């Protein structure tokens, strides 16, 4: 089961309560839409929500007050109204680009939280792919310019502008990644919304995505120094680099960069009020 959130809803929910609040609201909307939730005879609202959504009473009591504060749900004579996208479109702060973000609703609440986390991982990889394509195009234009084979006047102007801004063929080539990658510390940053991630925790969050099949990874290992097997020199290399890792292998010292991350499909749609 999948429900759709406006990106304005996703932003508000994540900034207010992280993936937990995103997953909680998404579950309510998926299970009941924008209909009123009525408790049965002698049943409290918490019990009704537990019966309909399968979420624990502790989870409901923890996150429902925050949704009420954000006005995304509203109590009406003992019932509960789940706000729809049309209401959010008219009442939440506007974003530059309006999109619908699919959130997979899973049997386990923790898996639904992982689906919310994957939205940001997917966005990060898509941004990398877009930037890589732009950089590859700039490299091609500068290569043609250096050979005196600029394809058009437009490309000639772009080449001169790139050079004027300090871009060189060497600098662009050295910084160009053919494959998209996310380090373990970046996985932590994407999960927690901070910029001082821990590799061990990041590895845990990445493993959750791998287990659900949302991402795949391939190792990036290169022979760094052939014929060198000095353990003391290996320690020096490890201390001098802030990323990646060195190890001794069959042919010498190898360098392992962050693995290539391959993402599964995440459909995004133009906004339609509903």
Q: Which of 2-16, 31-45, 101-115 has the lowest mean pLDDT?
A: 31-45
Q: Could you give the domains of the chain?
A: 2-105 (1.10.10.10), 120-175 (no CATH), 214-269 (no CATH)
Q: Mean pLDDT, to the nearest integer, of 111-118? A: 94
C-beta of residue 221 within 8 angstroms of C-beta of residue 180: no
Segment 7-25 mean pLDDT: 96
Expressed in angstroms, the distance from the first to the final Cα of the chain is: 18
| The pair of three-digit structure tokens given for residue 71, joined into one six-digit string | 């006005």
pLDDT band at 150 (very low <50, low <70, confident <90, very high): confident
Proportion of the chain above pLDDT 90, given as a percent: 42
Look at residue 270 in the predicted model and tell me its pLDDT.
Answer: 40
Give me the pLDDT at residue 32, please.
Answer: 77
- What is the pLDDT averaged over residues 125-151? 81
- Closest of 38, 46, 24 to residue 109, by C-alpha: 24
Q: Considering the chain, what is the average pLDDT of its residues?
A: 85
Q: pLDDT tens digit string along 79-91?
A: 899 999 999 999 9
Model confidence pLDDT, tens digit, residues 38-55: 888 888 999 999 999 999
Q: How far apart are CA 90 and CA 254, in angstroms?
A: 56
Does residue 252 register a pLDDT over 90? Answer: yes
Average pLDDT over residues 146-152: 80
The residue to which tokens 């802030």 are assigned: 242
Structure tokens at 3: 């429900």
Q: Is 171 left (phi over 0), alpha (psi -120 to 50) or beta?
A: alpha
- Residue 272's pLDDT is 43
Nearest CA among 47, 55, 45 for reference residue 25: 55
CB 182 within 8 A of CB 219: no
């Amino acid at each position: 089961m999948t429900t759709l959130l406006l990106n304005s809803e996703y932003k508000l929910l994540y900034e207010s309560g992280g993936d937990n609040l995103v997953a909680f609201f998404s579950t309510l909307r998926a299970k009941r839409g924008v209909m009123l939730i009525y408790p049965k005879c002698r049943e409290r609202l918490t019990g009704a929500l537990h019966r309909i959504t399968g979420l624990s009473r502790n989870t409901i009591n923890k996150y429902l007050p925050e949704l009420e504060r954000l006005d995304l749900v509203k109590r009406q004579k003992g019932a509960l109204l789940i706000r729809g996208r049309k209401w959010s479109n008219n009442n939440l702060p506007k974003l530059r680009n309006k999109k619908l973000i699919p959130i997979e609703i899973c049997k386990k609440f923790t898996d639904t939280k992982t689906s919310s986390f994957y939205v940001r991982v997917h966005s990060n990889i898509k941004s990398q792919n877009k930037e890589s394509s732009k950089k590859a195009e700039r490299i091609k234009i500068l290569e043609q310019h250096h050979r005196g084979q600029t394809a058009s006047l437009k490309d000639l102007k772009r080449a001169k502008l790139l050079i004027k801004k300090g871009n060189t063929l060497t600098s662009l080539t050295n910084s160009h990644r053919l494959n998209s990658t996310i380090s373990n510390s970046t996985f932590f940053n994407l999960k927690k919304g901070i910029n001082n991630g821990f590799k061990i925790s990041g590895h845990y969050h990445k493993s959750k995505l791998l287990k659900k099949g949302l991402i795949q990874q391939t190792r990036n290992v290169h022979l760094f120094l052939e014929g060198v097997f000095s353990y003391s020199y290996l320690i020096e290399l490890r201390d001098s680099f802030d990323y990646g890792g060195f190890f001794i292998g069959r042919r010498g010292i190898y360098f392992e960069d962050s693995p290539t991350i391959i993402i599964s499909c995440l459909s995004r749609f133009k906004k339609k009020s509903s």
